[in-house]
Structure 1
C-alpha cells in the first residue's frame, strides 16, 4: 500500500495541494489535511461547488464541514460508505478509496493520465 499512497500523494501535489515532505503515507494525514486535499480535488472536478478548505476548531462546525465534503463526494458518484467520520476519525483504507475515486474523476489536464486509478488498482492487485 505504500506505493499506492506515494502515487496518491504525488497526484495531490501535482494539483497544488501543500503536503509536507515528511508525509510519506496516508496514515500521516491529519483531518485538516484530509479536508484541504479532498476539497481541492472536488473543486477541480466541479468548480461550481463551493467547499471549505479548512477545518474549523468548533466541533459542530467540524461535523458540518466534513458532512458537506462527504455529501459532495456522494454527489460526484462515490458509492462507498462516507460521512463525517471518514474525515474526522479516518480509516486509512477508506481514505485511500476516496482519494482513488477523486483522482480518477480529476480532469486529465490537472493530473497525468498515467496516474489513473487503473494504475493504482493494478498495483493493489499485485
Structure 2
C-alpha cells in the first residue's frame, strides 16, 4: 500500500467512525459510486453518496467497525470488517462486511460494500416490521 493510499484509507475510515457524511463525501471523486450490495441501487455523485451514507449510519446509530483484514495496492484497498452495534429499532447488529475501494487521484472513485445480508436483515427486521 502506498503512503497516499494508506492516508486516504485512514481518513476515510475516520470519517465513517465520526459518522460524518460531509467528511465522507469530501473524500470521494465528483463522479464517484458508492454501492452497498444489499439490494440498494448504487449512489452516484457526491449528493447521492452523502444521502446514502447518512441513511446507512441512521440504521445503526452506534455502529462500530473492527478491522479484520486489509489488503491494498497503489489504487485500491480491500477491507474485511466486523460491524457491531444496535439498530435504530433496538436489535443487536453483528454483521460481516467486505469493502472493495478503487482510488483515483487521491480520492475514492468507487466503494463497493458487500454485507452479510441474512445477518443484516435479521438485525433490521424489527424496524421494517414496524413500518
Q: TM-score if structure 2 supplies the norm length?
A: 0.29
Superposition TM-score, scaled by structure 1 size: 0.30
**More relative contact order, 1 or 2 (CA 8 Å, 6+ apart):** 1
Please state which structure has a larger fraction of its residues in strand: 2
Q: Which structure has the highest helix share of the two?
A: 1
Structure of greater Rg: 2
